[in-house]
Structure formats: C-alpha cells, structure tokens
Amino acid sequence: MKLVTVKTPLLVVVLGAACLLGCSKGGEPSRAAERFYDSLAAGDIASAKKDATPATAEMIQKIVDKNGKETLSAVGGRKAAEEVIMDDTAVVTFKNEDGSTSTVPLVKHEGVWKVDFATMIQNAARSRIPVLKDTPPPSP
C-alpha cells in the first residue's frame, strides 16, 4: 500500500505537468508571434526581427527605412486566439478589436519558430502573376 501512496503524488505531478504543457492555449508558434507583435508595438525592431525569418526581417527593415518604425507600432499588443501546426509550418490566428481575425504564418527556421510574412506575400504575388508561378519559393 505504501508503494501506491508514494507513486500517486508523483503520477499526479507528472500528469499535471503534461497537461500544462500539452493543454496550454498557445504553444511556441503563438508565443513567437505574440513576441513579434509586442516588439513592434514597443518600437523594438531588432527584437521583432529576431522572431522573423531572414526574408521577413529584411522586409521589416525596408519598411522602417522608408516609413519609420512608428508605421509598424500600431500592429502590436495582440494575443493569439488559435494556432495550427503542420510539421515545420504553423498558422496563428489573432482576433482583432473589431471582431475580425488575422493570421500569421510561421516556419521553423533552424529549430526556432519564426514569423514568415515574406513567403506569404511572395506566394500571393506568385499566384496572381503567371510569370512567377514557375519560380521556386525562397528558402527560409
């Protein structure tokens, strides 16, 4: 009987920890996307770029160089509502103040989740411009 008593608290701790890890609202992609937006809101472009793919970081820098970092600060302060992970890609959905939703694409880049707006924009452009349809997507 003592054996069961000793193992029961351990089992409760292990199951509780597993539930906290596996049942949490947001995983690594959600946290990366939220950090990205929080950094933009704070005007911390360097930190936002750390949570972005190299191509997205380059795109952000071009926007900042052309329009100033204040242009990007209005998008911050969001909380993820849902995430879907498919192998090394993920989509995080945010609920906007007006009730609409917006999605953020992420990829696992060198083992770390990164926001990947650049590929999303390139894929959208590729689908609209016939010449670009045969061009391979850039590697992250």
Sheet holding 112-115, edge to edge: 80-86, 89-95, 101-109, 112-115
Higher pLDDT, 68 or 12: 68
Residue type, 40: L
User: Once rounded to an integer, what is the mean pLDDT over residues 88-114?
Assistant: 90
For range 76-103, the mean pLDDT: 87
Return the C-alpha torsion angle 111, 113, 119, 124, nearest 10: 140
**Average pLDDT of span 51-73:** 89
pTM: 0.68
User: According to the model, what pLDDT value does residue 121 have?
Assistant: 80
2 or 46: which leads in pLDDT: 46
Q: Under a CB-based contact definition with an 8 Å cutoff, are residues 118 and 138 in contact?
A: yes
Instruction: Find how far residue 119's CA is from the centre of its chain.
Output: 13
pLDDT of residue 93: 92
